[in-house]
Amino acid sequence: MKIGVDLGGTTVGIGIIDDDHSIKSSGSFRTAGITETSGLIETVINGIDETVSRSGIPFECIDFIGMGCPGEVDAVSGIACHADNLPLENTPFGPILSERFHKPVRIDNDANCAAWGEHIAGVSKNCSNVVTVTLGTGIGGGVIIDGKILHGNENHAGEIGHMVIDIHGKRCGCGRIGCWETVASTRALTNEVETQAKYAPNSRLGRLIAENGGHANGKTLFIALNEDDNMARSIFNDWIRFLEVGMWNIINIFRPEMIVISGGISNEGDTIILPLRAAVGKCSTIIEAGKLGGKAGMIGASTLYLCD
């Protein structure tokens, strides 16, 4: 049995996973609002203890702990170097967990873990060269080359959300102008939906947002799209074109066998995948939605020991 930890800015998901990559027990624990590193460490440790206790599985049966962390991670030393939304600054999470639980521990970037999970147990398990694109608040990326996670210099490879696709575009949180995630992330999409709906409050999209207190979520656009709302179709088409630009950049740089679209919005399936496939045409790279959903990071973390 292995433990997979998926650390995020809102919650940390913890699962006990068997050798067939099936989750036998899991728990979710709140991290939002934690401002001190010590509190975050305590939440993860207590979460592991509670998840194992609830499972009824003896701790002696656990032989590995893996954790995915957002932001910059030194996978070799087990240090979480920096994260924008969590109090992590050169935090030796790997050594801390190893000392506390007396188990081998490995940590890696959360997008790398999601990519690794799909590679080991998901849609890309038969591929040696894969790029996983995680659409959410930003755009994360995990790159697997010849069956190994690409870490790059200082372990910072795979930041595909920050390739610039519009030098006259919006300023990104990283400080640069026109990064891919400023126009193609889920947050960019929902922001555009809220902005455009103000100009057509009587449209189906406008009414949906009004019913939700003036806010959109990842599903709002697709509900209106399925009801043939013209504004929703226009916004969606523009968003897909931005996604296509990034996809072609990835294909031209890495020429992977597969690009996996991950993140909650990937649940829309063919609505997103089919136009992306059409955009790349007869290119040998296959585009697929992730198979493991929100569990990809947890499963990937639990199998980091297979990276050697």
**Alpha-carbon separation of residue 223 from 49, 69, 210, 232, 289 (angstroms):** 40, 32, 14, 9, 19
Question: Which of left, alpha, beta for 298 (phi over 0: left; psi -120 to 50: alpha)?
Answer: alpha
CATH number corresponding to 2-116+296-307: 3.30.420.40
Burial of 199 (0-12, 13-18, 19+ CB in 10 A): exposed
Instruction: Find all residues with CB under 8 Å of 225, minimum gap 6, and list them.
Output: 232, 233, 236, 271
As a whole-number percent, the residues of the chain with pLDDT over 90 amount to: 70
pLDDT at residue 269 tops 80: yes
Instruction: Find all residues with CB under 8 Å of 150, minimum gap 6, and list them.
Output: 143, 144, 157, 158
Using 50, 70 and 90 to split pLDDT, how confident is the model at 250? very high
Asked, colleague to colleague, whether 2-116+296-307 and 126-290 share their fold, the answer is yes
Average pLDDT of the residues in 211-237? 89
Give me the pLDDT at residue 52, please: 95
pTM of the model: 0.88
Give me the pLDDT at residue 70, please: 86
**CATH top class, domain 126-290:** alpha beta
Give me the pLDDT at residue 202, please: 84
User: What pLDDT digit, counting tens, does each position of 137-192 carry?
Assistant: 889 899 999 999 998 887 778 889 999 999 999 998 888 999 999 999 998 999 99
pLDDT at residue 201 tops 90: no
User: What pLDDT digit, counting tens, does each position of 34-66 carry?
Assistant: 999 999 999 999 999 999 999 999 999 999 999
Give me the pLDDT at residue 200, please: 81
Domain locations in the chain as residue ranges: 2-116+296-307, 126-290
